[in-house]
Structure 1
Amino acid sequence: MTSGRMGRQRWWLMTVVLWGVATFLLFSLVAFLASTGRVNEYAFLVLFYAILLVPFIVLPAYVIWLLISIRRWHDLGQSGWWNLILVVPGGLLVGLIVLGFVPGDEGTNSFGAPIVGRRTSPVPDQPRVMPVRQGKDRPFGRALR
């Protein structure tokens, strides 16, 4: 899971989905614990269980996110040890900016070939031309002339 490279778009998608699911689970947990109807009587108990169970949702999500981020660091040509910046207070913002907005290496680096779909060669001289259909069988009739 930590070998290879990952582009910005996939990293953002996986980050948003992962933390979206974790947030949904946390809100569901709090809503379930508070659904007794006696929130005032059991408020301390609901808060206690919520605090007790939060690490079972947040910590696995954080570990998975760190593993995903290692592949993004590899795309930047850096070691996965740069994830330590994400643990340091204040470093999380810097790490998010670097991981989320700095483009990865264009060519092959020490962590492998570039991501499939990334353009690594110059634009060809001849543009790619799509064939045009002629006649009455054109979709949308005469509107596309």
Structure 2
Amino acid sequence: MSNSKVSNSGVAALLEKVMQELTADTLDDTLEKLRFFFPETLLLGALDLIDRDSVIVYNTPWGRSQYEVLGSTATYAVFPGLPSGGGHTLAYCTCPAYAYSVLLSETQLMCKHVLATLLARRLERCVERPIDADELASVIARQCSL
């Protein structure tokens, strides 16, 4: 892996620690730390999504949560807590930016949709929507057809 690539377990673990410190009271301080990990445009884009109430979590009666982010041109499925072998969690988004910048070129740790979801969860700013099994099946079918 070249020096220009940012996806390594040490950086991911450090970012996870910074995210764990995030509360409404420490927001300004934590945003300064997040500038180390993300370009200003990505960070501002994620905060804009949160401000526009674009991070939606569908909660089932049996405790399952499914996340969606309403982007400027489409709606994307976000999977914020995928376990990894390295002791920290991974995230995934169905947007093209994630596929290119995170998976292919490895120039970013995550896209703005994943960052918005992680920040919204920590700040309790997700738009919560209860959902039953049939509605969840429709949401997943819609997300899979993206």
User: Quick check: TM above 0.5?
Assistant: no
Higher strand share: 2
- Choose 1 or 2 for highest CA Rg: 1
TM-score by length of 1: 0.30
TM-score by length of 2: 0.29
